[in-house]
Amino acid sequence: MIDPDTVRHVARLARLHLSEEEQETMREELSGILEHIEHITSLDLDDVPVTTHVVELENVLGEDVTHEELSAEEALREAPEVAGGGFSVPRMG
């Protein structure tokens, strides 16, 4: 149901490295899961609206007032690599 190209495409979109073997396992597993899910594609849902939120809230707006900020040291504390006060980025090809 899902072909190897789709697996590769989706893995690229998601930025996930999958070995050849993982790709094949993934293809089988996703196909299996989608088979179980497929039945919803045959439901007549044309007149049914979507539910994106179950809470009926609107206009939750914050005040434009500054809050406490992190120091640069704190901001960078957990970063695996830093340079020049910034978060270091791998070479951009």
Report the nearest approach of other proteins to the CB of residue 5 (Å).
Answer: 12
Cβ atoms of 12 and 37 closer than 8 Å? no
Distance of CA 83 to CAs 67, 69, 73, 89, Å? 27, 21, 12, 9
Q: How many residues bind other proteins (CB under 8 A)?
A: 70
Chain mean position to CA 13: 9
Cβ atoms of 16 and 7 closer than 8 Å? no
Report the nearest approach of other proteins to the CB of residue 40 (Å).
Answer: 5
- The residues in 4-63 that bind other proteins, with binding defined as CB under 8 A, are 6-7, 9-18, 22, 26, 29-30, 32-33, 36-37, 39-41, 43, 45, 48-55, 57-63
Report the nearest approach of other proteins to the CB of residue 32 (Å).
Answer: 6
